Amino acid sequence: MKMARLGLLERITELDISVNLRSQTNPQTANFVISPTMLPQQAAKFKYVAESTIRNVPEAQRYGITIWGVSDADSWLRNRLPFHTKDYPLYGMRTITRKKHTQNSMPAYN
């Protein structure tokens, strides 16, 4: 809210939300398997970002929310060196189809 008082346009850029939090501390994530609860939790976080923006930033100052990429296959979180991690941080699956759980996660921006 302090930022909104400045009157500047506000933009969230390169948004991605990791589901493999172990990759942050443990690079050995080759056996990581996404659980059925992880994608709905991720969608809830995308929704929280969008709703928080709507709630806290005046409409005239909302410049937008940009997702880092189209599909998980292109995510920097999967391709960063020195190790490659298994993660699914973006809005779309590797096949560039939208994740089921993200369908209504950013209603104001759909």
| DSSP state letter for 71 | B
End-to-end CA distance of the chain: 24
Apex CA 109: angle with CA 103 and CA 110, to 5°? 40
Residue 76: per-residue pLDDT? 78
Residue 110: per-residue pLDDT? 45
**Distant-in-sequence, close-in-space partners of 59: CB < 8 Å, separation ≥ 6:** none
Helix (H) or strand (E) holding 56: helix 38-56
Digit-by-digit pLDDT tens for the chain (110 residues) are 677 788 899 999 988 888 887 655 665 566 778 888 888 898 899 889 999 999 989 999 999 988 877 788 777 777 665 556 778 888 776 655 666 666 666 655 54
Question: Encoding tokens for residue 3?
Answer: 């930022």
Collapsing DSSP states into helix, strand and coil, what is residue 10? strand
**Domain extents for the chain?**
4-109
